[in-house]
Amino acid sequence: MVLVCYSMAEFVLHIGVILDGAKFAFRSGARSINNRLQAKGKSNEFLAKHAAKADSADNLVEDFAPPSQQVPAWVWATGTLVFVVVACIVCHIQFHMNAGLAILACILGLLFAFLSIHGGAVTDCTPLTASAKASQLVFGGVTKGQGLEMHNAQRINLIAGGIASGTADVATALVSDFRVGFLLRTPPHLQFYAQAIGALVSVFLAPGVFVLFMAAYPCIWHQLDETQECAFLAPSVTAWRAVAEAVTLPELPITRSCGIFTIVMGVVCVLQAALKNFYLVGNRTKYREYLPNWMSIGVAWVLGPDSGYANAILFGAITAWWWRKYFPKNFETHCFAAAAGLIAGEGFGGVINAALELGGASGAFYGTEIAIPGGTW
């Protein structure tokens, strides 16, 4: 609730940026169509009017790339249509989800992509969790209206949430890449084709990595009894499951006090967003530093009792603070590269650990738990 309410409130309060972007996109499209009509000796007063506005000097940012370096409209339009069809086919064959629901999930994914891109740019916290949960809420109402069985409704709910969250995640990552490319003046069409090649590889690589982890750690997707332990707590999986059950069960599986607290915290988040954007402005902007970051708090509540992520974030925050305070120039040059390398190294190390687990050569076979917090040794 905190993630959804706060990200939605920030999105609504900054809707002007989205409207400016929509106007720019519409006028750019009008200019493109108008240029084609003029090349054929034709004209349209409406298109010419908005094309002139696109060419005016009051645009937010001038695009450095000439038309020859832009991504042709037929390329991305054809790709969008093809993969919507692919999504419909896969959802129908693999998950018994009709094409209408798959198209609805893709549309929600497009809407939440704008939300995530904007949220990531304004708050530096991409609301992917909020996007997924909002999609699950929508499909909870859809499946209830269709009268589907509980198991089928929950499966469709999870798949739809995955499509929306995945679309928002990929869109945010690609736009971030384009933003860096814009600053470096990289030709957009070359960057687009490079991203397409990378996405094509990941389509086949990601399921392979997933199968590797599931084979190495079957406890992730198998229900365990109280005596068994799993190497991963997977708090996000628990959150997805909880939302899917909450929107499909006849009654919410939570207590009344929990529901009241959830609603109150959602209202508090919205009020803080309004306070920050309407009152803490001008000379009072400095007081924004004392406001809590509800995106971080919401993520912490999703993680629950697992302290591993919190400890890692705490260690990274203290290290970054110390580094920036005493070595500011070195920090600006190397900090983000070091952080990116550590993140990539952790992911690659996880793949190696999974392979060692399958080969019977991991720490579970030859390691020790001495000095591990919470372990028995």
pLDDT tens for 351-361 read: 898 888 888 88
Q: Is 329 exposed, middle or buried (0-12, 13-18, 19+ CB in 10 A)?
A: exposed
Q: How many CB atoms lie within 10 A of CB 280?
A: 17
Most confident of 20-29, 148-157, 262-271: 262-271
Taking the whole predicted model, whether its pTM rises above 0.75 is answered as no
Where is the domain boundary, 262, 296, 330? 296
CA atoms within 13 A on the CB side of 345: 6
Whether residues 335 and 201 share a domain: the answer is no
CA–CA separation, 188 vs 193, rounded Å?
Answer: 9
**Helix/strand/coil for 222:** coil
Helix axes 2-13, 294-303, angle to 10 degrees: 160
156 with 262, same domain: the answer is no
* 192 in the same domain as 225: yes
Residue 308 has pLDDT above 60, yes or no: yes
Residues 336 and 371 in one domain: yes
Q: How far apart are CA 51 and CA 337, in angstroms?
A: 41
* Residue 37 sits in the same domain as residue 140: no
Read off the pLDDT of residues 101-116 as tens digits, 9 standing for 90 and up: 889 888 888 888 877 7
Is 63 within the bounds of a domain?
no
In this structure, what are the phi and psi dihedrals at residue 70, rounded to the nearest 5 degrees? -80, 155
Residue 120 has pLDDT above 70, yes or no: yes
In a domain, 42, yes or no: yes
Contacts of 9 (CB under 8 A, 6+ apart): 269, 270, 273, 274
Closest-CA residue to 12 (of 262, 273, 268): 273
CB of 120 within 8 A of CB of 126?
yes
User: In the predicted model, what is the mean pLDDT of residues 214-233?
Assistant: 74
- pLDDT value, residue 322: 95
Q: State phi, psi for 41 to the nearest 5 degrees.
A: 80, 20
Mean pLDDT, all residues of the chain:
82
Residue 128 contacts residue 116 (beta carbons within 8 Å): yes
pLDDT at 125: 66
Q: How confident is the model at residue 271 (pLDDT cuts 50, 70, 90)?
A: very high
For residue 50, pLDDT over 70 is answered with yes
Question: Residue 320's pLDDT is what?
Answer: 92
Grouping H, G, I as helix, E, B as strand and the rest as coil, residue 292 is: coil
- Does residue 261 share a domain with residue 284? yes
Quick check: 198 pLDDT over 60?
Answer: yes
- Per-residue pLDDT reduced to its tens digit, 333-344: 899 899 889 888
Tell whether 105 is covered by a domain.
yes
Number of domains composing the chain: 3
Please name the residues in contact with 29: beta carbons below 8 A apart, sequence gap of 6 or more: none
In this predicted structure, the answer to whether residue 89 has a pLDDT above a threshold of 90 is: yes
